Amino acid sequence: MTIQEGDKIPSVSLKTMTSEGPKDITTEEIFSGKTVAFFSVPGAFTPTCSASHLPSYINNAAALRDKGVDSIVCMSVNDAFVMGAWGDSQGAGDDVLMLADGNGDLAKALDLELDGSGFGLGMRSQRFSFIAKDGVVDTLNVEGPGEYKVSSAEHMLTQL
């Protein structure tokens, strides 16, 4: 069953790129004791994700923090090298933590997978966002197929 508001974030290990290379990071480390603006995209370097989705969070990072967000997290079913390069190319810097869900473990655990096989992408994550408070989903926004409306930072700001 798809994760719902009020549900605890599943325990999963993801990867982030560091100056020493890929590093494991757990969902407990990401969410415990924090308010997190989390969003997931179907693929790094893809058109909507690069032109709109990630930039919406980079451009609104200060506004999100002003509304009580401790960290902003972007996830995709890509590897840590790709996520690191994408974050660098978009100027994410320290504003957005770029996470790789390389095997789709978190996408599966949330029941928010997307079958992109028809486009040569394999299994990916749906486009979605949520606000989590101390590891519990407070507000969840899942996009319809091919849409980009409710998972933007601008929409999230109206929910905080």
Structure confidence by residue, pLDDT tens digits, 1-42: 899 999 999 999 999 999 999 999 999 999 999 999 999 999
Supply the pLDDT for residue 40: 97
Supply the pLDDT for residue 34: 98
Q: Which domain holds residue 116?
A: 13-131
Average pLDDT, stretch 117-128? Answer: 78
Q: What is the mean pLDDT of the chain?
A: 94
Supply the pLDDT for residue 122: 60
Burial class (CB in 10 A: 0-12, 13-18, 19+), 137: buried
With 80 as the cut, is the pLDDT of residue 121 above it?
no
Supply the pLDDT for residue 118: 72
Kindly state whether residue 139 falls inside one of the protein's structural domains. no
Kindly state whether residue 112 falls inside one of the protein's structural domains. yes
Average pLDDT, stretch 109-118? Answer: 83
Kindly state whether residue 70 falls inside one of the protein's structural domains. yes
Q: Which of 25, 37, 44, 49 is catalytic?
A: 49
Kindly state whether residue 157 falls inside one of the protein's structural domains. no
Kindly state whether residue 28 falls inside one of the protein's structural domains. yes
Total-model pTM: 0.94
Kindly state whether residue 3 falls inside one of the protein's structural domains. no
Supply the pLDDT for residue 46: 86
Kindly state the DSSP code that residue 119 receives in the 8-state scheme. Answer: G
Structural domain tally of the chain?
A: 1
3-class state of residue 28 by DSSP: helix
CATH code (residue 27): 3.40.30.10
Kindly state whether residue 155 falls inside one of the protein's structural domains. no
Q: Output b/e per residue, 26-62; b: 16+ Cβ within 10 A.
A: ebeebbeeebbbbbbbbbbbbebbbeebbbbbbebbe
User: Known catalytic residue: 49?
Assistant: yes
